Amino acid sequence: MTQRTLVLLKPDAVRRGLVGQVLSRFEAKGLTIVALEHRTIDGEMADRHYAEHVERDFYPPLRAFATSGPLVALVLEGDEAIEVVRGLNGATDGRKAAPGTIRGDLSLSNRENLVHASDSPESAAREIALWFPALG
Ligand SMILES: Nc1ncnc2c1ncn2[C@@H]1O[C@H](COP(=O)(O)OP(=O)(O)O)[C@@H](O)[C@H]1O
Ligand SMILES: [Mg+2]
């Protein structure tokens, strides 16, 4: 089934000059970019995006990281895109993510792990409406 998913290339991806490389992986897989924006978010937007995590111990430094510089937000579309993109990204902790995944190949951190992707159809709908209201 064709799906859309919300992806962030987090501030570490922009700082490290990995935007092109990471986008290339999504494009090479056959996913279509249907929206894309370079943007710096404030704490309020971070709180909305990470609503499920705001009470967690790891949230304050995550909030600081998410607002630390520009990121690239995009919507990808393709067959089973939600699960496919989660698979391309790899496990949350870059130190444990499998080689061949974006995080496994390019991140050595469980916070600065380069990418975000929606984890379910419900999350994708909520996140796409949040980041790209015109598509929501
Ligand atoms: N234990 C942790 N320590 C530091 N940062 C974390 C930790 N767990 C998660 N994070 C950060 O919070 C983000 C959101 O967490 P989560 O939704 O669990 O992972 P994912 O991004 O793989 O869906 C992660 O991508 C990572 O940047
Ligand atoms: Mg998540």
Q: Give the DSSP per-residue string, 6-45.
A: EEEE-HHHHHTT-HHHHHHHHHHHT-EEEEEEEE---HHH
Query: What is the 116 CA–ligand 2 centroid distance (Å)?
Result: 7
Q: What is the pLDDT along the chain (136 residues), one digit of tens a residue?
A: 999 999 999 999 999 999 999 999 999 999 999 999 999 999 999 999 999 999 999 999 999 999 999 999 999 999 999 999 999 999 999 999 999 999 999 999 999 999 999 999 999 999 999 999 999 7
Q: How far is the CA of 107 from the centre of ligand 2 (A)?
A: 16
Residue 110 counted as an annotated binding residue: no
Span 2-39+71-131 CATH architecture: 2-Layer Sandwich (3.30)
Rounded to whole angstroms, the Cα distance separating 55 from 73 reads 24
Tally of CA atoms within 13 A in the half-sphere of 48 that contains its CB: 10
92 carries a ligand binding annotation? yes
The response to whether residue 111 sits with its C-beta less than 6 Å from ligand 1 reads yes
Residue 113 Cα, ligand 1 centroid: separation in angstroms?
8
To the nearest 10°, report the CA torsion of 86, 90, 93, 98: 160
Active site residue 53: no
Residue with tokens 């990995």: 18
Answer yes or no: is 86 a known binding residue: yes
Distance separating alpha carbons of residues 99 and 34, to the nearest angstrom? 28
Distances (CA, A) of 78 to 51, 87, 117: 26, 14, 14
